[in-house]
Amino acid sequence: MKCPFCNNLNDRVVDSRTLRDGAAIRRRRECLACQRRYTTYEQTQIPLIVLKEDGRREPFSREKLRRGVDIALTKRPVPTEAVDRLISEVEDACQRLENPEVPARLIGQMVMEKLKALDEVAYIRFASVYRRFKDVGEFRRELEKM
């Protein structure tokens, strides 16, 4: 592993821990040249493909998922760790599916379920975009369901 500080390729692992129920490993490393420490994360990757409603296919992107969730959570009192956990849980659920091609609709439903439990305001915000509410009546009906 290349040191992010001095670009040396020699390091030693100081500590390793499993994360996300064994789906990832966190390694604390120390550079043998500059003695600075840094953290790396390892996880298995099955390339996921998102099937869009218009028939397009695109690679799954944690960053794109995070942007959507972050927009819904704007100015909400939700810790970053909870958002990270939500995104990891959705990605892990997609990885466990038999088919590596996941419909965007399924990902959206998973996110809505998790947001509903995490923050109801963020859930409504996400649902209004995801379900394409056309008027206040649809918004109101969704609120009444809660």
Read off the amino acid at residue 72: A
How far apart, in whole angstroms, are the C-alpha atoms of residue 17 and residue 121? 35
What stretches in the chain show pLDDT beneath 70? 131-136, 138-139, 142-143, 146
| Contact (Cβ atoms closer than 8 angstroms) between residue 130 and residue 108 | yes
How far apart, in whole angstroms, are the C-alpha atoms of residue 138 and residue 132? 9
pTM reported for the whole predicted model: 0.66
pLDDT at residue 70 in the model: 94
Question: Kind and range of the H or E element at 139?
Answer: helix 136-145
Model confidence pLDDT, tens digit, residues 118-137: 998 898 888 877 766 666 67
